[in-house]
A and B are shown apart, each in its own frame.
Chain A
Amino acid sequence: MRLRLPKLMAAALATSWLLLGSAPAGAQVTSEPSAVIFPDPAKFARGFYTEGEVGAVTFFGPASDVVAPGFAVGARFGYDIFRFFALQLHALGSTHQTKGDTPFSGQLLQTYQGMVEGKLTIRFVQLSIFAEGGVGAARMSTNLLYALGYARYRTGLTAGGSAGIDYHSLSRHFSIGLRAGYFMLFDVSSSQDLITTAYLRYTF
């Protein structure tokens, strides 16, 4: 018994520093870890894409006196050359009713528009804004505007631009968006049309 007490005292003395507190730790962290971007836009698909759209076409200028706004369906097929720039083909058809106080009122008229467009995009993670412009042809299904004195030909040049906003889903392929575009109809007596659509895009 007399030999054991001094050994216990020595052990307690040796470990007592643990109870008195430790010295400050000297960690090896040199900077804060970077925040994780989710979803990572770099992982979104890029390349060939297709879009389907629905919306409305509204005429402005002299043609708006005789042609009411109409329902529109369209499609695009394009290719992202860069993250910020794409080239695309656009086809859109819309159907309208004529209005006014003439024997022509109440008749149906379809317009078909086809364009080649360039598109610039600025992305903010899942959201992006874009502007696009193009040139192409617009064709009327009937000679109504000719008979009313608003157009000489059923087919004419069209050119203009659109802007919109796109929201990319967590899938790397799908996004949805809204766009509005204003196009000159060069062969319809100084008239224009406003195309407003909602679309679904799939990038391959």
Chain B
Amino acid sequence: MTENERRIGSLIIHGALALLAGLAMIGCQELNTPLYFKGTDIVATGGEETPPTTGLSLRFRDPTQKEREALQMQADALGYGMDVPWVSRDKVHIELLYKITNTSNVADDGSPAEGRTGTFNVLVDGATEYTKYDYQIVSDAIAMGDPDEAVFFPLMQSMPKMLAAGQSYSGLLREDDFDEGSLDIDALGRWLDADPASPTFAGVLINDSDVNPVGLNLVPANVVLPALVEINVILQTDVKMTCEYVVRVRDDDDRLLHNDSDTLYETSPTLFQPAVMP
């Protein structure tokens, strides 16, 4: 064997070992690949006073004793006097993939019908381990103050889009949309400014915090935000449409519940209710 052949052989051996090691590493860690949770399809007849909704709850495992201690140490180190969430935004990354179909050209019995172009909007609200946000409760609370005021303030939403009869549209609410939603719901839940003159409620929901951090004045800069553990999808349409959706979750530290030996992390979020405007 020549020196050159020996060198090439060594290169190949090391290359093969590196490849095997890489594959093994991918096999073990899987590059933080996501998990998918299919939601129940939403069927809207169009123009409903209360738009149809379905949702799902993500199930997480209880932290181990060691993990609890780590959370406590982190909370002590952060020093803002609140718990560090177990299901945190920096560890659990959520995305919503949806497909809307305008089914106005199909009658309820399945026969063809004259379809109409319609407009849809996908709204999302939900809950973290601390706070639950329900747009309907909020809307009702606002309506109590002013019955003529019909306002929808969802936690997140796609922009309204038009869709011709028989057509479909696929879209998504990205991880950064959910990041913003997590900040908003935590601001309304744990960091709500009780001052009636504060623009916290609507200001937080309407504004992108990167552009205008209105209403976030009580949120510490170093806060660890909770991720959503419950996701509710609402389909607002003016004609008959259906919505299929799937929630995609990247779980950095393997906190989703999938081992029978683990116990479920129970959450009891407090429902957010805005102060009724006189």
A residues apposed to B, CB below 8 Å: 50-52, 73, 75, 77, 91, 93, 101-105, 107-108, 110, 112, 139, 141-144, 147, 171-174, 200, 202, 204
Contact = CB atoms under 8 A, between A and B. Distances in A.
A152 B67 CA distance: 31
A147 B38 contact: yes
Nearest to B39: A103
B77 interface: no
Residue among A103, A105, A107, A202 with most chain B CB within 10 A: A103
- Top 9 closest pairs, chain A to chain B, by CB: A103-B97, A147-B36, A141-B33, A50-B16, A202-B12, A103-B246, A103-B99, A75-B19, A141-B30
Interface residues of B, number: 31
Contacts of B168: 101
B13 A142 contact: no
Nearest to B243: A103
A200 B246 contact: no
A91 B17 CA distance: 11
A73 B30 CA distance: 15
B250 to A, nearest CB: 10
13 contacts: A50-B13, A52-B19, A101-B99, A104-B97, A110-B30, A112-B26, A112-B27, A141-B33, A147-B38, A173-B1, A200-B12, A202-B8, A202-B13
A142 B35 contact: yes
Interface of B: 1, 5, 8-9, 12-13, 15-16, 19-20, 23-24, 26-27, 30-31, 33-38, 97-99, 168, 170, 244-246, 248
Given A77-B20, A200-B12, 17 more contacts: A52-B19, A73-B23, A75-B16, A91-B24, A93-B26, A101-B99, A102-B99, A103-B97, A103-B244, A104-B36, A110-B31, A112-B27, A141-B33, A147-B36, A147-B38, A147-B246, A173-B1
Contact of B12 (A50, A110, A172): A50
Contacts of A108: 33
Given A173-B5, A202-B13, A103 B98 contact: yes
B118 to A, nearest CB: 19
A77 B16 contact: yes
Contacts of A173: 1, 5, 9
Contacts of B246: 103-104, 147
A147 B248 CA distance: 11
Contact of A171 (B5, B15, B20, B34): B5
A172 B246 CA distance: 55
A171 B1 CA distance: 9
A181 B100 CA distance: 40
Contacts of A144: 36
A44 to B, nearest CB: 13
Contacts of A139: 27
Nearest to A76: B16
Contacts of B20: 75, 77, 91
